[in-house]
Amino acid sequence: MLLYNSQVSGNCYKVRLLFAHLAIEYDRLEMDVVDRSNRREVLGELNPALRVPTLVLDDGRSLGESNAIIFHFAEGTQYLPEDSFERAQVLQWLFYEQYSHEPNIAVARFWALFDVSPPSSADHELKMKAGRAALQAMDAHLTDRPYFVGERYTIADIALYAYTHVAPEGGFELEPYPAIRAWLQRVMGQPGHVPITA
């Protein structure tokens, strides 16, 4: 398989992390996340959103959206529950990640990492406020449980770990969230864990 990848992208890291846990082999093609001028030429036939991660399977089919990719590959493994309610809970957190977490934390991190000016300081403050609210909700949920769903590590944890552990790069302090900090340690201790830089 071929993963259209960005090494700094948390969305791409979700796929790399699950593949590391599952010992799935694949090739990577690195895409620039700042100069996106070749996106249509390279990804036009593969992903209508022209974004990474995009994965081309061995049979030629392609799949975009990080959480769709990890959902597909987690099927039948320990990283996705069999129980239908627990599967729905996993989806709950995958959608949460994409609506309440990533658009705030990942965007603020992107601005900081690549020295991109936010549209305005008010926009920046809104991202920071919403990002902190997302972290607060995660922290409250993790206060009395080790992982997001069903007392075990699933793709819900992988999806949320991706941008949470690098949130300080976007200016988010993790010090106020003790349950998140303990959970980050548990995630890092999982067999086959690899860092975002791997």
Ligand X SMILES: N[C@@H](CCC(=O)N[C@@H](CS)C(=O)NCC(=O)O)C(=O)O
Binding site residues, ligand X, CB under 6 A: 6, 9, 11, 33, 36, 39, 50-53, 65-67, 98
Query: Least separation, in Å, of the C-beta of 90 and ligand X?
Result: 15
Query: Least separation, in Å, of the C-beta of 175 and ligand X?
Result: 26
167, 126 Cβ separation under 8 angstroms: no
The residue (of 51 and 127) whose beta carbon lies closer to ligand X is 51
Phi-psi region of 8 (alpha: psi -120 to 50; beta: other; left: phi over 0): alpha
The residue (of 65 and 157) whose beta carbon lies closer to ligand X is 65
The residue (of 53 and 170) whose beta carbon lies closer to ligand X is 53
Q: Counting Cβ atoms within 10 Å, is residue 112 exposed (0-12), middle (13-18) or buried (19+)?
A: middle
The residue (of 32 and 181) whose beta carbon lies closer to ligand X is 32
Query: Least separation, in Å, of the C-beta of 51 and ligand X?
Result: 3
Query: Least separation, in Å, of the C-beta of 68 and ligand X?
Result: 8
Phi then psi for residue 5, to 5 deg, are -130, 155
